[in-house]
Amino acid sequence: MRDGEETAAGAALIDWYDRSARVMPWRVGPGAGAHPAPYHVWLSEVMLQQTTVAAVRDYFRRFTARWPRVEDLAAAEDAEVMAEWAGLGYYARARNLLKCARVVAFERGGRFPQTAAELQKLPGIGPYTAAAIAAIAFEEPAVVVDGNVERVVARLWAIETPLPAAKPALVEKAGRLTPQLRPGDHAQAMMDLGATICTPRGPVCALCPVAAFCAARPLGIAAELPRKVPKAEKPTRFGCIYVAVDAAGAVLLERRPEKGLLGGMLGFPGTPWAETTPAPAPPIAADWVALSHEVRHTFTHFHLRLQVYVACAEGKGFTPRAEFAPAALPTVMRKVWDLAEGALPA
DNA sequence: CAAACGTGGCC
DNA sequence: TGGCCAAGTTT
Domains delineated in chain A: 6-224 (1.10.340.30), 236-343 (3.90.79.10)
Contacts of A177 (CB under 8 A, 6+ apart): A6, A9, A10, A153, A156, A186, A190
Q: What is the DSSP string of A139-183?
A: --------HHHHHHHHHHTT--SPBTTTHHHHHHHHHHH--SSSH
Contacts of A294 (CB under 8 A, 6+ apart): A305, A306, A307, A308
Q: How confident is the model at residue A51 (pLDDT cuts 50, 70, 90)?
A: very high
Confidence (pTM): 0.96
Total length of chain A:
346
pLDDT in tens, A207-216: 999 999 999 9
Q: What is the DSSP string of A188-252?
A: HHHHHHHHHTS-SSS--GGG-TTGGG-SHHHHT-GGGPSPBPPPPPPPEEEEEEEEEE-TT--EE
pLDDT in tens, A283-304: 999 999 999 999 999 999 999 9
What residue is closest to B9 (Cα–C1')?
Answer: A52
Per cent of chain A over pLDDT 70 is: 99
Q: What is the pLDDT of residue A324?
A: 97
Residue A246 CA distance to nucleotide B10 C1' (Å): 41
pLDDT over 70 (residue A345): no
Decide: CB of A50 under 7 A of nucleic strand B: yes
Q: Nearest nucleotide to A128 by CA–C1' distance?
A: C8
Q: What is the pLDDT of residue A233?
A: 87
Residue A341 CA distance to nucleotide C2 C1' (Å): 28
A45 a catalytic residue: yes
Residue A286 CA distance to nucleotide C3 C1' (Å): 40
Please identify residues in chain A, positions 156-175, with a C-beta within 7 angstroms of any atom of strand B. Answer: 164
Decide: CB of A262 under 7 A of nucleic strand B: yes
What residue is closest to C7 (Cα–C1')?
Answer: A48
pLDDT in tens, A162-196: 998 999 999 999 999 999 999 999 999 999 999 99
Within its chain, how far is the Cα of A65 from the centroid?
20
Residue A53 CA distance to nucleotide B8 C1' (Å): 12
Write out residues whose CB is closer than 7 A to strand C: A 24, 44-45, 48-53, 90, 92, 96, 123-130, 132, 146-148, 151, 188, 191-192, 194-195, 200-201, 228, 230-231, 233-234, 298, 300
Nucleotides of strand B lying closer than 7 angstroms to a protein CB = 2-9, 11
Q: Nearest nucleotide to A187 by CA–C1' distance?
A: C7
Asked if residues A281 and A272 have their Cβ atoms less than 8 Å apart, the reply is no
Contacts of A59 (CB under 8 A, 6+ apart): A47, A84, A85, A88
| Burial of residue A302, with CB atoms counted within 10 A of its CB: 0-12 exposed, 13-18 middle, 19 or more buried | middle
pLDDT in tens, A92-148: 999 999 999 999 999 999 999 999 999 999 999 999 999 999 999 999 999 999 999
